[in-house]
Amino acid sequence: MAFFEHHGVEENELFRTFTLFNFSFPLHFHHAYELIIVNEGELVVTIDQKEYLLQKNDAAFVFNNQMHEFKTMNHSTISIVIFSPEMVGDFFMNYKGYVPENNIIHLKAIPDLTKLDSIYRQKGFLYNVCGILVDNTEFIPVEYSTKTKVLHKILLYVDRNYSEECTLKVIAKHLKYDYPYLSKLFVQMTNLPFTEYLNHYRITQACYLLKNSEQTITEISSKCGYNNLRSFNRNFKRITKNSPMKYREHHRTHHSSYAVKQQPQNEK
């Protein structure tokens, strides 16, 4: 998934937007700032082990390197905005080394992200969001414990190597930590066994490819780290409650219907 795969930001002024339907994504972090805006439905967002329930017009403002995940509740349509700190340079410099005490803000209206077609409109929108955040929360110094730093390293390794052999024993050897220590730390900080997290991460990547590529299910299975198609199908159905084929058909139909609704009247 292009907007989650790279924790670093290659471009000085990066601004990308995505619309996602009934989507969930497991624990991750990156250098970019991220806005998660709920257009419809409900979404549970966890940021640095603090859980929030978001509804229509709510948005989560995730700072760089904050560990976060989100899960759809029943159904949701959300907009994701990924942008580099350089896009809001003054804000970034003022709050560098701090994170919001409360990452959630409420927007008066859902923004039309398609109209943010110039860097001036993009920066205007982002600085307005920054202003709303500053008006509604305090900021606290970032405190990264040794355990947090180790978890960052594990998540980064998964992000870069989930398509290959990616066991916790391999990671422990790569990071030069004892396997029992990493296993205990991971469960303590995520409430998930590592294998369960890895399966969720891989299946989420598969969901994105099923909806946004023409690759076959076998190709997607292999690309997401499954050497056995049966194992992929079993995990996919357990996590999404659908087979890969039904998931692709359902979400492509949903996406097509949404695209039609968004067309201007003179294009219908």
**Domain termination residue (choose one: 85, 117, 141):** 141
Tell whether 116 is covered by a domain. Answer: yes
| Residue 36: pLDDT band with limits 50, 70, 90 | very high
CA quadruple 140, 67, 64, 112: dihedral sign: negative
Same-domain pairing of 6 and 137: yes
Q: What tokens does 232 get?
A: 């992929």
Q: Is 121 helix (H, G, I), strand (E, B) or coil?
A: helix
Average pLDDT, the chain: 88
Q: Domain containing 79: what range?
A: 2-141
Residues 171 and 241 in one domain: yes
Q: Are the C-beta atoms of 61 and 103 separated by less than 8 Å?
A: yes
Residue in the structure block whose two tokens are 């410099």 = 93
Residues 127 and 177 in one domain: no
pLDDT score, position 253: 63
Task: Give the model confidence (pLDDT) of 195-216 as tens digits.
Answer: 999 999 999 999 989 988 999 9
| pLDDT on residue 65 | 87
Q: Are 245 and 208 in contact (CB under 8 A)?
A: no
125 and 21 within one domain: yes
In this predicted structure, the answer to whether residue 143 has a pLDDT above a threshold of 90 is no
Taken in order 98, 103, 109, 115, the sign of the CA dihedral is positive
Whether pTM > 0.95 for this model: the answer is no
- Between 91 and 49, name the one with better pLDDT: 91
Domain shared by 110 and 18, yes or no: yes
3-state DSSP call for residue 37?
A: strand
My answer on whether 72 and 89 are in the same domain is yes
Tokens of 38: 């709920």
What is the number of domains present in the chain? Answer: 2
Higher pLDDT among residues 211 and 55, named by residue: 55
Residue 166 lies in a domain: yes
CA 92 to chain centre: 21
pLDDT exceeds 90 at position 33: yes
Residues 135 and 16 in one domain: yes
Check residue 12 and give its pLDDT: 61
pLDDT confidence of residue 250: 83
Mean pLDDT of the region 126-149: 93
Give the distance from CA 242 to its chain's centroid: 21
pLDDT band with cut points at 50, 70 and 90 for residue 262: very low
Range scoring the smallest mean pLDDT among 64-73, 131-140, 255-264 = 255-264
